[in-house]
Amino acid sequence: MASSSPKYNSNSLESSSIKRIPKDGTKWEQNEEIPRLPGETSITDKEVIYVCPFNGAVKGRLYVTNYRLYLRSVELDPVVILDVPLGVIARIEKMGGASSRGENSYGLDITCKDMRNLRFALKQEGHSRRDIFEILTKYAFPQSHNLPFFAFVNEEKFAENGWMVYNPMPEYRRQGLPNEQWRVTFINEHYGLCDTYPSLLVVPYNATDDDLKKVSAFRSRNRIPVLSWIHPENQAVVMRSSQPLVGMSGKRNKDDERYLDIIRDANGQISKLTIYDARPSVNAVANKATGGGYEGDDAYPNAELFFLDIHNIHVMRESLKKLKDIVYPNVEESHWLSSLESTHWLEHIKLVLTGAIQVADKVSSGKSSVLVHCSDGWDRTAQLTSLAMLMLDSYYRTIVGFEVLVQKEWISFGHKFASRIGHGDKNHADADRSPIFLQFIDCVWQMSKQFPTAFEFNEQFLITILDHLYSCRFGTFLYNCESVREKEKVTERTLSLWSLINSEKAKHTNPFYTKELNRALYPVASMRHLELWVNYYIRWNPRIRQQQPNPVEQRYMELLALRDDYMRRLEELQITNNSKISNSSASSASPSQMMSHVQTHF
Amino acid sequence: MGGVNYVSRRRAALQPEESDEESWEELVPLPPSCPLAGTAAWSWGGREAPGAMLGKGAGGSGAKPAKPSFVSYVSPEEIHKKEPIEKEVNLHLLPGELLLCEANTVLKCVQEDGSNRGACGKLICTNFKIAFLGDESASDDNEPEFKNKIIGENDITLHCIDHIYGVYDEKKKSLSGQLKKYPEKLIIYCKDLRVFHFCLRYTKEEEVKRIVSGIVHHSQTPKLLKRLFLFSYATAAPTNTDIQNQTVMFDAIKDWREELERTKGNMKYKVLSANEAYKVSEKLPLYFVVPMSLSEESILQYQGRGIPIWCWSCHNGASLLKMSAFPKEQEDNTSQMHKIFLDGIYKTINKPPYEVLKTDDLSSSLPSLQDIQAAYIRFKQLFLIDNSTDFWDTDVKWFSLLESTNWLEIVRRCLKKAIEVAEYLEGQNTNVLLVEENASDLCCVISSLVQVMMDSHYRTKFGFQSLIQKEWVMGGHCFLDRCNHLRQNDKEEAPVFLLFLDCVWQLVQQYPPAFEFTETYLTVLSDSLYIPIFSTFFFNSQHQKDTNMSGEGHRAQSSHFRFLSVWDWSVQFESKAQVLLNNPLYVEKPKLDKSQRKTTRFKHQRQLSLPLTQTKTSPKRGFFREETDHFIKNILGKRISKLINSSDELHNNFTEFYDSWHCKPVDFHGLLLPHIDGPGIKVWAQRYLRWIPEAQLLGGGTVATATKILDMIEEVQSLQKKMDEKHSLTVPQGREALPMLRNSARLSSLFPFALLQRHSLKPVLPTSTWKDLEDEDDLAKRDDEFVDLSEVI
């Protein structure tokens, strides 16, 4: 049956990996062999048949805890293991009825948020399916059952405290703020100005808190234009906001108009302020019907507006759904390229990147400051500002820098993670769900693929982030905005994902990283360079999976180790030489031995 | 003005010799008038770049109306002043190369960041190449690290020209034959995918006529074999002393014997010298290998047709063979005789120890040469890009455009076929016989692919070169016809060798550490197809080469001229540049002495073979074997084409073999199977995108990591040296900073080919991003979240 032999276990969650364990390790009876996090408790276990799309039916035992679903095959050679955090589950369906005759046709079909489905066949007798269905439903969707997220019962300990990674004040200070043109305001300290914004905001020095209040009345959900990033040399800034409430009647707001002019003025340039509306123009126009809109020429003569044609959350959700159809369980055999094209997934990636390049280029040219918004300024806007910042500021290309970027542009500025991901919520068809953050990470991956030496983090880092975007093991991505997180005491009661990552940095580090300061990094947003992220989207397929670890990386690591070894030995030699002990012959043997296999071809 | 004088002097000196070349000027009558005067606008190629301007090297001739134009910021007066600079150019001619015609004040147009730059210079045509001599490259003291000594940046060999277009009033027309009208601009598409735009608006009418008709004539009209530059060069070049090269040429009987020994094929196969003086066939090489049991008579009977010829033996003894099929005969009698003959052959070789033989007729199981050619024509079109607008227009539908060419699908099918063959050899211990009309096209592709995948020797540089000698050069692949070097017959043209290189590239990109050579090596090898100073790719067969080398009635000294081989890379590249052909990731297979070999061989075999072959219940396999055997016996002699291609069994064997191999860690010195699923097959970006500025990543691409590895190797080496020094003389030294030899940060992803093509640091932005969401239209119109904001206020 499961004819393929084990080998890869490098996926961050080690899910669905097939491991070979020593034959004598048969004492898997109870709990002993099932990984457990501190705080994780066992709920139930059942005999099931795992209907693996790649290896066929696998008989095994399914364990359910308050954190994960874990399956171990009965057969030990090879052992098939599934290890799936319950947070990944989007939907649990019963398949087959009492009259089902076909083999393995009665059981559960579990749709996951990470591009796979799990099927378990169960015995028809004894309500086993009903029991497991109810338990899974309860623990996979705790929010729908008045249960806490696992993050709140997780008792893990880490060497690093990820909650310390981001603190807005030091980050703004790193950017040289506040300065003569920009000030820090605490007007939103108790989320009185805008309940989805962070408490600390950077605004033009020449705008009073009173001005801000007036402007907030004219911006959707009070998300006023605030500073995201300032160019260290030319002082041009990246601002973010939501759409102006222009409406059908074409309302104007003097305060908003004056406020944008202050922003334009702040970098000492006489040119217009550039506004990038992330939406297609049609949608921006259509938004007027519901009270929104965009900055018109008449009202804002000192601004120039461009539409970036990025589609809405529903289009992105459908696109990912189509992508899953062509890669799971089987990769579309014939017409792969046109199938891929018909999902539009990479086309959307291209548009997002193109928009971000435009924002970055405008700021970097120093000719004008930029304001980015979409409708509410928490989806496309977050994508654009964070990607532009990644292109402009090499700090964000480090591990900690990227954590700061996510923490700042996404988490603190109220990207609605809870709604977009649907953490612990059973309503799988919720129209609020959308893979906006995944799309952003994909864009980052595309950039790291195009510039393999420019990022301190590796692919694994990005995959780990995505895995814990769903897992609910950490508090990092829970809830929609800072005000709710504060109320739920997330930083006190849960752990940060960055604790995990920063405690094992080596695993997430790109060995090829070359530190480069102040260099704008522009990817090429052409289909000729954009690729499907196979190691993420098709990682469950053993046939497609690429070589892990990457041989190029491995070779480089070997060389690095060799170099370090030489350095160490040279230093040792230095010491021995200095202390005039000349019999160092013994230590010299080993490096030259090691050299023999590296010396081959240059 | 020295450069010009030099050139014209050279030309004068060469005049007498030129009589040897057919007088093309007589063949191409010059038209009475040249419709060039009048127009003032400088816009070329129909580009809409309002900011278009001439670069520093701009120049123009006073012969044209001196009117500034709307696209040029440089007035013709200014250009005129700069004229003297432009002439500081040197023309380097190879031995035997003759200057045929030239034109001055030609503008080479380059697009950069949406604006046009022009470099002014001289366009020349020789019997070897077209060259643009501008002052631009000369003034650039930043010498590229990777420079071809034969072909400069602005040189196009005549064989490398794919298509020539003339632009008349903004319209592009293909140029060939006799011209009645001369274009204001010349666009040259090259087989290595470069695109040149030469503006002739400022060139003297007389010179335009000469250069255009000269170029068209010398590159487009049919040629005689003896008129190839190859012969002029070989005659004029100093006799090359034999360069020590480890590439096995397979032109001597000992090469074949050693190959038989290396692969342990010598138990069952023998080298024949029956074809000495080409007595058997002009298609076959002087020496070839056949099954031991074949008699000499049967080989002579049909000039080598219907004879299984050995390619390679697997470690388990199973062998790969090829055979030229009999052409389809109308006459019953003849085909009956062929059938009887084949019956006899199969019976002879089907005796133990040649137990089982699987026959695969490649002409029915793979796409035809016409399909391959048609696919490639569509495919290359995607990369011959005139301007930025073109680039972004095609970008929107890039994947479906790629798919519609079918090229990648053909690559995939070849790789799949090679895996199938490998499965028979490795998984089933079965001999495989590839059959094709002349056994010199798809047979070459599949047999050499199988050998690259199964024999790590062929993944070394010399091994790979030897393989090309063995399967392609000696195997009688018609390079001359397939590349259409003589422009005699378009119908014979098909990029079969390129298809093979593309397949190998797929393997190289999937398994970087498995090959001693780099993708750059493959790219320059593909370019070498069009350089007529190497004989390697300029003959249809060994026989053709040999007969033309003895040169009846050629020049006096021709009796012992020698051709160069492409494998002597020092002809094209300095050793510094050759470094880029070697893969720093490759680690040589550890060498073992004889006593150890036995055990490792066993181990090696175990690594290669699959768990299936061990764990699978033997009865089933045995049953299958028997059945196949039986089947073969029944239909022997009937020209078995798809033996069991349709059976599920084949499919199952294939997937099992493929899947179980991919489930295990890769042994880079063992069997290598390519991923052939959709995402696995990619576009050979280095070859196809290297000249497109929009596709460049400054400081990115795989070159960035490769450079880091090279740097690290250098660092390790220097440390090692230091170590050695420390050991010899114990002078205490402080730790010095290690030399960083490269700066990977700003290398282009298309390095080493398009070094710094884009000078600007500005990002490239798509110009057409319009997209149609079709069925998702209703979704697209929706708002992110449905809240009526007008109510909120």
Token pair 């291609």 in the structure block, residue: B645
| Parallel, antiparallel or unpaired: strands B155-157 and B129-134 | antiparallel
Nearest to B530 by CA among B189, B282, B173, B244: B189
Confidence at residue A537, expressed as pLDDT on a 0 to 100 scale: 96
**Out of A312, A526, A600, closest to residue B766 by CB:** A526
Confidence at residue B789, expressed as pLDDT on a 0 to 100 scale: 61
Calculate what percentage of chain B has a pLDDT beyond 90: 44
Residue-averaged pLDDT of chain B: 77
Chain-chain contact of A335 with B403 (C-beta, under 8 angstroms): yes
Token pair 């190959």 in the structure block, residue: B259
Chain B hits for A547, CB-CB cut-off 8 Å, are 511, 666
pLDDT in tens, B70-123: 333 333 444 443 444 444 557 889 999 999 999 999 999 887 655 677 889 999
pLDDT higher at B346 or B265? B265
Asked if omega into B752 is within 30° of 0 (cis), the reply is yes
**pLDDT beyond 90 at A17:** no
pLDDT in tens, B593-609: 444 443 333 333 333 33
Strands ordered across the beta sheet of B319-324: B309-313, B319-324, B431-436, B357-361
The count of other CB atoms within 10 Å of the CB of residue A321 is 12
What's A42-140's CATH class?
A: mainly beta
Chain-chain contact of B664 with A5 (C-beta, under 8 angstroms): yes
Confidence at residue B142, expressed as pLDDT on a 0 to 100 scale: 53
CB neighbour burial string for B710-729, b if at least 16 within 10 angstroms, e if fewer: bbbbbbbebbbebbeebeee
B769-773: average pLDDT:
54
B147-158: average pLDDT:
90
CB neighbour burial string for B352-365, b if at least 16 within 10 angstroms, e if fewer: eebebbbbbbbbeb
**A53 in contact with B, Cβ within 8 Å:** no
Token pair 């932005």 in the structure block, residue: B765
Cα nearest neighbour of A416 on chain B = B785
**pLDDT beyond 80 at B301:** yes
A194-206: average pLDDT:
97
Query: Confidence class of residue B432 from pLDDT cuts 50, 70 and 90?
Result: very high
A202-224: average pLDDT:
97
**pLDDT beyond 70 at A9:** no
What domains can be seen in chain B, in order of their start residue?
99-137+144-221 (2.30.29.30), 253-549+562-580 (no CATH)
Lowest average pLDDT, out of A17-26, A217-226, A524-533, goes to A17-26
CA of B49 to nearest chain A CA: how many angstroms apart? 19
Tell me the domain boundaries of chain A: 42-140, 168-544
Calculate what percentage of chain A has a pLDDT beyond 90: 77
Task: Name the most confidently modeled range: A21-35, B277-291, B649-663.
Answer: B277-291
Confidence at residue B591, expressed as pLDDT on a 0 to 100 scale: 67
Beta bridge partner(s), residue B131? B124, B155
Chain A hits for B412, CB-CB cut-off 8 Å, are none
To the nearest 10°, report the CA torsion of A94, A97, A101, A102: -20
Lowest average pLDDT, out of A412-426, A568-582, B757-771, goes to B757-771
Residue A128 annotated as lining a ligand binding site? no
Cβ pairs A/B, distance under 8 A: 283
Confidence at residue B48, expressed as pLDDT on a 0 to 100 scale: 35
Chain-chain contact of B784 with A592 (C-beta, under 8 angstroms): no
**Out of B587, B696, B787, closest to residue A600 by CB:** B587
Read off the tokens for B204.
Answer: 């003297």
Query: Confidence class of residue B687 from pLDDT cuts 50, 70 and 90?
Result: very high
| Parallel, antiparallel or unpaired: strands A273-277 and A303-307 | parallel
Lowest average pLDDT, out of A387-396, B420-429, B717-726, goes to B717-726
Backbone angles phi, psi at A429, to 5 degrees: -95, 10
How do the residues of chain A divide into helix, strand and coil, expressed in percent and rounded to 5?
A: 40, 15, 45
pLDDT higher at A309 or B776? A309
Confidence at residue B3, expressed as pLDDT on a 0 to 100 scale: 36
**A127 in contact with B, Cβ within 8 Å:** no
**What is the Cα–Cα distance from A205 to A235, expressed in whole angstroms?**
14
Query: Confidence class of residue B449 from pLDDT cuts 50, 70 and 90?
Result: very high
Confidence at residue B353, expressed as pLDDT on a 0 to 100 scale: 56
Chain-chain contact of B679 with A452 (C-beta, under 8 angstroms): no
Q: Which helix (H) or strand (E) holds B404?
A: helix B398-405
DSSP state of A302: T
Query: Confidence class of residue B528 from pLDDT cuts 50, 70 and 90?
Result: very high
Residue A374 annotated as lining a ligand binding site? yes
Read off the tokens for B292.
Answer: 């031991």
B41-64: average pLDDT:
36
Read off the tokens for A307.
Answer: 């539409």
Nearest to B227 by CA among B20, B531, B24: B20
Chain-chain contact of A451 with B704 (C-beta, under 8 angstroms): yes
Cα nearest neighbour of A311 on chain B = B780
Residue A4 annotated as lining a ligand binding site? no
Lowest average pLDDT, out of A558-562, B118-122, B403-407, B617-621, goes to B617-621
Confidence at residue A88, expressed as pLDDT on a 0 to 100 scale: 97
pLDDT in tens, B642-681: 333 445 666 788 888 998 898 888 899 999 999 998 899 9
**Out of A318, A525, A570, closest to residue B723 by CB:** A570
Query: Confidence class of residue B366 from pLDDT cuts 50, 70 and 90?
Result: very high
Residue A485 annotated as lining a ligand binding site? no
The helix-helix angle for B369-381 and B407-422 (nearest 10°) equals 130
A413-440: average pLDDT:
97
Chain-chain contact of B705 with A350 (C-beta, under 8 angstroms): no
Chain-chain contact of A601 with B782 (C-beta, under 8 angstroms): no
Query: Confidence class of residue A267 from pLDDT cuts 50, 70 and 90?
Result: confident
Chain-chain contact of B719 with A566 (C-beta, under 8 angstroms): yes
Confidence at residue B608, expressed as pLDDT on a 0 to 100 scale: 35
**What is the Cα–Cα distance from B645 to B650, expressed in whole angstroms?**
6
Residue A313 annotated as lining a ligand binding site? yes
Chain-chain contact of A544 with B789 (C-beta, under 8 angstroms): no
Residue ranges of A 189-248 with Cβ closer than 8 A to chain B: 217, 220, 245, 247-248
Confidence at residue A417, expressed as pLDDT on a 0 to 100 scale: 98
pLDDT higher at A374 or B771? A374
**Out of A287, A331, A358, closest to residue B678 by CB:** A331
pLDDT in tens, A448-502: 999 999 999 999 999 999 999 999 999 999 999 999 999 999 999 999 999 999 9
Backbone angles phi, psi at B707, to 5 degrees: -65, -40
Lowest average pLDDT, out of A185-194, A304-313, B272-281, B441-450, goes to B272-281
**What is the Cα–Cα distance from B118 to B329, expressed in whole angstroms?**
59
**Out of A361, A525, A556, closest to residue B712 by CB:** A556
pLDDT in tens, B563-597: 899 999 999 999 888 888 999 889 887 765 444 44
Read off the tokens for B202.
Answer: 């400022």
**A333 in contact with B, Cβ within 8 Å:** yes
Confidence at residue B49, expressed as pLDDT on a 0 to 100 scale: 36
Q: Which residues contact residue B252 at a Cβ distance below 8 angstroms, ignoring those fewer than 6 apart?
A: B287
Nearest to B229 by CA among B63, B95, B103, B90: B95
Backbone angles phi, psi at B448, to 5 degrees: -75, -35
**pLDDT beyond 70 at A32:** no
Confidence at residue A580, expressed as pLDDT on a 0 to 100 scale: 58
Q: Which of A52, A112, A194, A374 is flagged as catalytic?
A: A374
Cα nearest neighbour of A318 on chain B = B776
Return the SS3 of A71: strand
pTM for the predicted model, two decimal places: 0.86
Chain-chain contact of B723 with A566 (C-beta, under 8 angstroms): yes
Confidence at residue B697, expressed as pLDDT on a 0 to 100 scale: 85
**pLDDT beyond 60 at B631:** no
Confidence at residue B112, expressed as pLDDT on a 0 to 100 scale: 63
Query: Confidence class of residue B769 from pLDDT cuts 50, 70 and 90?
Result: low
Cβ atoms B560, B528 nearer than 8 A: no
B504-521: average pLDDT:
95
Residue ranges of A 536-555 with Cβ closer than 8 A to chain B: 538, 542-544, 547, 551-552, 555
| Rounded to 5°, angle at Cα A356 from A355 and A357 | 90
Lowest average pLDDT, out of A96-105, A266-275, B668-677, goes to A96-105
Query: Confidence class of residue A76 from pLDDT cuts 50, 70 and 90?
Result: confident
Which of B378, B383, B712, B717 is most worth mutating to test chain A (most A CB atoms within 10 A of its CB)? B712
**A373 in contact with B, Cβ within 8 Å:** no
Confidence at residue B389, expressed as pLDDT on a 0 to 100 scale: 86
Chain-chain contact of A360 with B763 (C-beta, under 8 angstroms): yes
Calculate what percentage of chain B has a pLDDT beyond 70: 70
Residue ranges of A 418-477 with Cβ closer than 8 A to chain B: 432, 450-454
Q: Which residues contact residue A552 at a Cβ distance below 8 angstroms, ignoring those fewer than 6 apart?
A: B512, B513, B585, B705, B709
Q: Is A112 a catalytic residue?
A: no
Lowest average pLDDT, out of B33-47, B207-221, B716-730, goes to B33-47
pLDDT in tens, A118-171: 999 998 887 889 999 999 999 999 999 999 999 999 999 999 999 999 999 999
**Out of A292, A454, A552, closest to residue B585 by CB:** A552
Confidence at residue B753, expressed as pLDDT on a 0 to 100 scale: 77
Confidence at residue A481, expressed as pLDDT on a 0 to 100 scale: 97
Read off the tokens for B781.
Answer: 């119109």
B424-442: average pLDDT:
93
CA of B405 to nearest chain A CA: how many angstroms apart? 11
Residue A379 annotated as lining a ligand binding site? yes
B16-43: average pLDDT:
37
Residue-averaged pLDDT of chain A: 89
Chain B hits for A314, CB-CB cut-off 8 Å, are 779-780, 782, 784
